[in-house]
Structure 1
Amino acid sequence: MLAPHMWGTEFLPQTSILPLVDLVITHGGNSTKTEALRFSKPMVLLPPFRDPYDNVQRMDELGFGIRLDTYRFTDGELTGTVERLLADAAALGRLP
């Protein structure tokens, strides 16, 4: 059950939503990574398994996002990472 201020659906048109957000929290898969770059959105990267690891590592190294340990990050780490990405003008300037 979602909180009253939240909503969900089976399908969300990601390319319609991304222009409206300031930042993307993603597991680092190809589609979301590519679309976040297309719309110049910084990323918090949380790879849950090996498949997107290379994408996540490259995005972190290039400064397009920050990788967190998917199963060990704290609330404070997530909040701090979001705040740091949104305040980092140099990082935002690196985005295509």
Structure 2
Amino acid sequence: DVTSFDTSIELNSNRSISKHESSTKMPSLNNNTRKTFAQRINKSLLQQPLNSKGSKFKQRSLDILQENKIYFDSTEPINQRLKKQFNLSIDKK
């Protein structure tokens, strides 16, 4: 019978899987393993040394970005931005 043949194959495949199982137990979860990936990343970013070159460059970049936000409106024409930045009079021709 074909169905009994299929059943015996299924049983054999299940047995072969169980042969390879190990008796290793999963470690119990504690508070450190329950933290989300984002929490671990945020913690590592906050723990960077304050005097590193990367943090100085990052802080300076943020300062420049903030200064540019104050002086320039993104919808403002480029001619007006240049006038404000360089105090030049740009005439349209």
TM-score by length of 2: 0.20
Larger % of strand: which? 1
Larger radius of gyration between Structure 1 and Structure 2: 2
RCO (CA 8 Å, sep 6+): is it higher in 1 or 2? 1
TM-score by length of 1: 0.19
Larger % of helix: which? 2
